[in-house]
Homo-oligomer: A and B are copies of this chain.
Amino acid sequence: MTDLRLTALAASLPSTVPFVGPETQERQLGTPFLARLGANESNFGPSPNALKAMAASDLWNYGDPESFELRAALAAHLDVSPGNIMIGEGIDGLLGYLVRLFVGPGDAVVTSEGAYPTFNYHVAGYGGELHKVPYTNDHEDPRALFAKARTTGAKLVYLANPDNPMGTWHNGEVLERALDDLPEDCLLVLDEAYIECAPAGTAPDIPADDPRVIRLRTFSKVYGLAGARVGYAIGAPDLIDAFNKVRNHFGMNRAAQVGALAALADHAYLEQVREQVAAARARIAEIAQHNGLTPLPSATNFVAIDCGQDGAYAKAILDGLIARGVFVRMPFAAPQNRCIRISCGTKRDLDILAEVLPDAMKDAQKG
């Protein structure tokens, strides 16, 4: 076998992606999951209007490389200019392009210990040096993040609000004030994947043209289109335009473009999903409490449940749930890994959770 002439950077990277998908686990288990509550997908599904629009899309055509109509609709929705919006293949895809634009070998980047692994994967993938600060009381800590950005000279600092995997959040005003401490030459990557589930006031009031911040949002969560791969960035026009240097310009699925457009327009459906999410959060909390576990407050479409002991104990409960057909995930880093993370589901999904959780806990207690 000829040795691959990879770049030195590529040669140094492991050939592993950050997540094992639920389908892989199903193949290992030899049976499909009964409830899919691990990836913060929207079990309530997308707007029927989105499904109709996608079915009518001419998939023999490439998608519009400008995603013109979707950008225009988002701009109107957000009261910004289309030049403030970039569409991409999910937040994951946009994070990849963003990191590529900013981060080269040795460049400093800051995130929280236990925050989104795919961001870290991209930073490592471009040779960046990742600096981490711990969560504070299960919240991402903007002041600590920005202070670390200052001492490391970071080009990017990542912060999710609301946070994944904990579900916690800051009021937007907290972030607005914290921005005063963001180093001038550091870009805040504000991941707002779950913003539509959060209380009013969670999104900070930052003008789209503010060069200090790029915001990332998605149709994968409450809009119910995770499998479509549509995310968007909101930022200053020159930053948004820079994506054209590197992006896979024909990368957007054409049906996804029209599906997102229809989903965005269906306000009534979004409202209904928000109510279902709120109800499901309450039910998950109730199930947790019924089993002596502590649900964390959540502004997302999932609930982190504090299992009250260490990571090994939480992992044992998680394994018990998975063995009983309930797909869930958990935080990667201590002490947040004392929790398991359960996505909002339908009544049927949560009935299954309620049924199997006691047995999963018994297994874990046996050790």
Contacts and interface: CB of A to CB of B under 8 A. Distances in A.
Interface stretch (A166-174, A190-198, A247-255, A290-298): A247-255
Contact of A6 (B15, B19, B102, B244): B102
A256 to B, nearest CB: 6
Given A17-B244, A27-B68, A62-B39, A227 B4 contact: no
A31 to B, nearest CB: 15
A3 to B, nearest CB: 8
A225 B59 contact: yes
A104 B126 CA distance: 11
Nearest to A259: B59
A7 interface: yes
Nearest to A101: B10
A134 to B, nearest CB: 26
Interface stretch (A40-48, A136-144, A358-366): A40-48
A253 B229 contact: yes
Contacts of A249: 17-19, 92, 118
Nearest to A1: B211
Contacts of A239: 4
A82 interface: no
B227 A59 contact: yes
B15 A241 contact: yes
A236 interface: yes
Give the size range of A's interface with the partner.
35 or more
Interface in A29-59: 36, 39, 41-46, 51, 54-55, 57-59
A224 interface: yes
21 contacts: A5-B102, A7-B102, A8-B104, A10-B101, A15-B241, A15-B245, A17-B65, A18-B249, A19-B249, A23-B64, A36-B61, A46-B60, A54-B54, A54-B255, A55-B55, A59-B224, A59-B226, A63-B229, A89-B248, A253-B253, A253-B255
Interface of A: 1-2, 4-10, 13-19, 21, 23-24, 27, 36, 39, 41-46, 51, 54-55, 57-66, 68, 89-90, 92-93, 96, 100-104, 107, 118, 125, 155, 184-185, 187, 211-212, 220, 224-229, 236, 238-239, 241-242, 244-256, 259
Given A5-B155, A45-B60, 18 more contacts: A4-B239, A5-B185, A13-B246, A15-B241, A17-B65, A17-B247, A18-B249, A19-B249, A43-B60, A51-B55, A57-B227, A59-B228, A60-B227, A63-B229, A90-B250, A92-B251, A227-B253, A228-B253
**Top 5 A-B pairs ranked by shortest CB distance?**
A227-B254, A17-B249, A23-B64, A13-B245, A59-B227
